[in-house]
Amino acid sequence: MLQGKRILLIIGGGIAAYKSLELIRLIRRDGGAVTPVLTKSAEQFVTPLSASALAGDKVFTHLFDLTDEAEMGHIELSRSADLVVVAPATADLMAKMAGGHANDLASTLLLATDTPVLVAPSMNVRMWLHPANQRNVSMLAQDGIRRVGPDEGDMACGEFGPGRMAEPTAILAAIQAMISDGPLSGRHVLVTSGPTHEPIDPVRYLANRSSGQQGNAIASALAALGARVTFITGPASAAAPLGVDVVPVQTAVEMLEAVKAAMPADAAVFAAAVADWRVTDAASGKIKKAAGSPPPSLSLAENPDILATVAQMETGRPRLVVGFAAETDDVIENATQKRTRKGCDWIVANDVSPETGIMGGQENAVTVIDETGAESWPRTSKEDVARKLAERIAAALG
């Protein structure tokens, strides 16, 4: 997928630097070329020789070892790549980026570049959560810098939490999504997925059986065609796909807010099984059983219809809005009416009667309804349905 692409890989000084050597190997195996740049502190963790051997290319370390400056100055070095990747992106490197510093080769390259930049942060959990670092993270996002990770987990320093660098396979997927050529490159597609959880009290909630598998497969298939995908997901059992920007939410109201915040988009696919109702007065403490008293009664309010809200936007509506219809009876008739009622362009209808085994299962049989009529696809894996749908979306966006 990365054939003919060159990545300038800036390796920061963190314990995760060893994973960046594996990243070099993965990029090259995928057809890409890597020019490594090591910061001074990165050299404490990995040697320029190992980075150079794996990259099969010269490694740059100091601003003034650019006698190379004559043949390849820092401006040229920063611009000749298709993508600049910073992995591990330490708190210090990100602070320099956010502040526009240029006092070593890595920060100078990052300030001089006009190429897209992807950062893979890596640091101690307290450092990650520190307001100063969070300020830098949001400033970098505002500057259009993309981010993969950090992951949550055990850290080399013995603590637990967010801060661990994303795995090399996840960084590779993010790189592919950013620069591989595909019919959807340069397009932004929004995908909702999974169930929503509507709290009754702090320990109980209303939910449904959606596993999120179909939404995952659609997000992956869109990213594989080169789209930038914002994946807004309720608490699904399936782990979110690689190479997409994941926005986790719990409730329908949160999902709507996240969808609005992710706009504008060229297309939006609403695969989430959003709970139709929420509990009006969710209790702030756990509801207790009182001896002899009747079970509590729940009062419900209707949730906002996210698909209809976006499909009927007067300004900023995505060019293509795709909804799903989960039906158990008169599937095509109900789904056709749903398309008109919600105002979306296509409805992907599926029969979720328990005997089909579709909800929570591996396969799907869908009918795509657009303004010209209904097109039924044979029952197949959710991945195949997703690939076909992604190709249809690419064709529609042109």
How many C-beta atoms surround the C-beta of residue 58 within 10 A? 11
Q: Which of residues 160-199 bind ligand CTP (CB under 6 A)?
A: 192
Q: In terms of CB distance, is 182 or 318 closer to ligand CTP?
A: 318
Closest contact distance (angstroms) between CB of 387 and ligand CTP is 19
Query: Is residue 326 part of the contact set for ligand CTP (CB under 6 A)?
Result: yes
- Does position 324 bind ligand CTP by CB under 6 A? yes
C-alpha to C-alpha distance for 40 and 309, rounded to whole angstroms: 51
Binding mask 251-270 for ligand CTP (x = CB under 6 A): -x-----------------x
Residue 270 sits at φ, ψ, to 5 deg, of -105, 85
| Minimum gap (Å) between residue 323 Cβ and ligand CTP | 4
Interface with ligand CTP by CB under 6 A: which range of 120-128, 221-229, 239-247, 298-306? Answer: 298-306
**Interaction of residue 307 with ligand CTP, rule CB under 6 A:** yes
Residue number with CB closer to ligand CTP (266 or 351): 351
| 337 contact partners, CB below 8 Å, separation of at least 6 | none
Which residue's beta carbon is nearest to the bound ligand CTP? 306
Distance (Å) of CA 53 to CA 56, 59, 106 = 5, 9, 20
Minimum gap (Å) between residue 339 Cβ and ligand CTP? 10
* 245: nearest Cα among 265, 229, 233, 261: 229
How far apart CA 389 and CA 140 sit, in angstroms, is: 33
Tell whether residue 274 is a contact of ligand CTP (CB under 6 A). Answer: yes
Q: Which CB sits closer to ligand CTP, 121 or 212?
A: 212
Is residue 272 part of the contact set for ligand CTP (CB under 6 A)? yes
Contacts (CB under 6 A) with ligand CTP, residues 36-95: none
Name the burial class of residue 14, with classes exposed (0-12), middle (13-18) and buried (19+) by CB atoms within 10 angstroms of its CB. buried
Spatial distance between the Cα atoms of 309 and 307, rounded to a whole number of angstroms = 5
Let me know: does 35 contact 7? Beta carbons within 8 Å: yes
If the CB atoms of residues 276 and 363 are measured against ligand CTP, the closer one turns out to be 276
Nearer residue to ligand CTP within complex by CB, 62 or 209? 209
CA distance 278 to 301: 5
Q: Determine, following the binding rule CB under 6 A, whether residue 303 of this chain makes contact with ligand CTP.
A: yes
**Least separation, in Å, of the C-beta of 203 and ligand CTP?**
24
Residue from the set 17, 175, 258, 325 that interacts with ligand CTP by CB under 6 A: 325
Q: What angle do CA 292, 295, 298 make, to 5 degrees?
A: 155
C-alpha torsion angle, residues 350, 205, 189, 216 (rounded to 10): -60
Among 189, 306, 331, 369, binds ligand CTP (CB under 6 A): 306
List the one residue from 12, 226, 234, 323 that touches ligand CTP (CB under 6 A).
323
Segment near ligand CTP (CB under 6 A); pick from 121-129, 158-166, 226-234, 303-311 = 303-311
Residues belonging to the active site:
157
- Three-state DSSP class for residue 329: coil
Asked whether position 305 contacts ligand CTP by CB under 6 A, the answer is yes
Distant-in-sequence, close-in-space partners of 347: CB < 8 Å, separation ≥ 6: 322, 323, 324, 325, 335, 336, 338, 339, 368, 369
**Cα–Cα distance for residue pair 389/221, rounded to 1 Å:** 8
DSSP state of 241: P
Output the smallest distance, CB 252 to ligand CTP, in A. 5
> With respect to ligand CTP, which residue has the nearer C-beta, 184 or 190?
190
CB atoms within 10 A of CB 297: 5
**Smallest distance, Å, CB 266 to ligand CTP?**
18
Chain residues in the site for ligand CTP (CB under 6 A): 192, 252, 270, 272, 274, 276, 303, 305-307, 323-326
